[in-house]
A and B are shown apart, each in its own frame.
Chain A
């Protein structure tokens, strides 16, 4: 990803998420954002079919199911 595009995206997305980026942290954030972009490019290079669903599958929860992880805390 082009450096200027990365900078513009990071600044706009951080503002949209109300996520302040301290000036001392910004160079590192840009470095890692561009690394993630390179990884996303690799992922995008794989041709997928519409039948290739995302891996996570939702498990419905009934009214009597004691499935809240917070119960363990």
Chain B
């Protein structure tokens, strides 16, 4: 296998190959940069490259390996693995643009975000920063400042958002691992539309220090990858308390990667019904049915008032986002993304009573979910109502309802992130003629390991998969 072949495999395989000197970290990084150069004119996933830094780091890894007689790198499960981050993560030397025009004029970040530091401590190599919806307020990554990210499996379609660049870079085979953020679905929606695995951990599990916020009440960070094992390896490397994030919770590190093959036949698994079926199109329902059949699940379960939960997420996001950007909305509203500017302006005006009531409903809904999780371990729901729509799509027809396309892509993810439940999005094929669509595996808080086990075993059974896209020439 040459470096290009390794690049198209998994992070775990790359790390093993680098560790055993089947390939050098320098060659893997060069292959990643070359793949980006060859395909990003079509995909437009990257907004910044850190090529010099990446080559320097790769050379250091290779030098350390050459100088050592020990089985070097056993403590570095991502040795030599190229990765990239949504451009709301601080990268030393780059302005943290958060998809905006406004922020790119500000001073470059002095430090890397702690999650970047943790991945690099595990051996990974940062190669760049990725496109997103401005200030993470969107589900399509149709960014007017940096251009839209295109879906690697069909460049006429959206990649999803707001972490569209992250999902697209992984699906395009540019990197095997990327980080994104998820406030209302911004990991799970692009993972679904680009056909990658994505993990939104429990709210408070990974620190958000050194990232540009959107809605502090709801913001999460997490990884995208082409295998469940790679999600687990990166998630394990990123766990750990950081008191600078007031939402971060002190918990022991859970090694999820080591337990991927543990039994899942004792788990109580159910399909989420009602709202999560009513707001799903036929492709999405078919994807859920395939996953359920593979897990031999017939049982359905209900989360009461999910539509109200989605509405609460909408109100909280709108109000917190508007308040966060109020100063710039006052003085330079014309510099905002036209697709989200008017929503931010409206959000800044919401009455306090609406927001407080939404935060009260949020806790009520979390209690209802906790009751359900006394009877069930894992819930299965669609990640998006449909497969990736064409770029520029304004309206969707869903079970006879005509809905605005962009906000509706988050209909099925918003109730879940409202209450911070961990979710692994898994990619299902052959429910749409040409495109993937994702399914959410949902558990009670702090049970990421259980979800990754189910995802891994679905992958081993061939039910879910994330192939590298064949990118057409420009």
Contacts and interface: CB of A to CB of B under 8 A. Distances in A.
Interface of A: 9-10, 13-14, 17-22, 25, 28-33, 35-40, 42-46, 48, 52-56, 59, 65-69, 71-73
A20 B349 CA distance: 12
Interface stretch (B189-197, B360-368, B444-452): B360-368
Given A43-B354, A54-B363, A73-B111, A13 B307 contact: no
B109 interface: yes
Contact of A69 (B217, B244, B350): B244
Contacts of B349: 9-10, 13-14, 17, 19, 29, 33
B354 A21 contact: no
A18 B326 CA distance: 10
Interface stretch (B97-105, B166-174, B339-347): B339-347
Contacts of A53: 360, 363
A55 B217 contact: yes
Most B CB atoms within 10 A — which of A28, A71, A72?
A: A72
A46 B329 contact: no
9 closest A-B pairs by CB? A28-B342, A32-B346, A54-B359, A42-B311, A40-B354, A39-B311, A55-B362, A72-B210, A33-B346
B357 interface: yes
A32 B217 CA distance: 21
Nearest to B418: A55
Nearest to B329: A19
A32 B342 contact: yes
Contacts of A19: 326, 329-330, 345, 348-349
22 contacts: A9-B349, A13-B351, A30-B346, A31-B346, A32-B318, A32-B345, A36-B315, A37-B354, A39-B314, A39-B315, A40-B350, A40-B357, A43-B358, A45-B308, A53-B360, A54-B363, A55-B359, A55-B360, A55-B366, A69-B210, A69-B245, A72-B113
A53 B365 CA distance: 12
A43 B243 contact: no
B315 to A, nearest CB: 5
State the main secondary structure of chain B at its contact with A.
helix
Nearest to A58: B246
Interface residues of B, number: 47
Contact of A36 (B245, B330, B347, B366): B347
Contact of B330 (A18, A31, A54): A18
B417 to A, nearest CB: 12
A73 B430 CA distance: 45
Contact of B342 (A25, A42, A73): A25
A49 B363 CA distance: 12
Contact of B244 (A30, A38, A48, A72): A72
A66 to B, nearest CB: 7
A30 B364 CA distance: 30
A54 B359 CA distance: 5
Nearest to A20: B330
B114 A72 contact: yes
B40 interface: no
A39 B333 CA distance: 24
B334 interface: yes
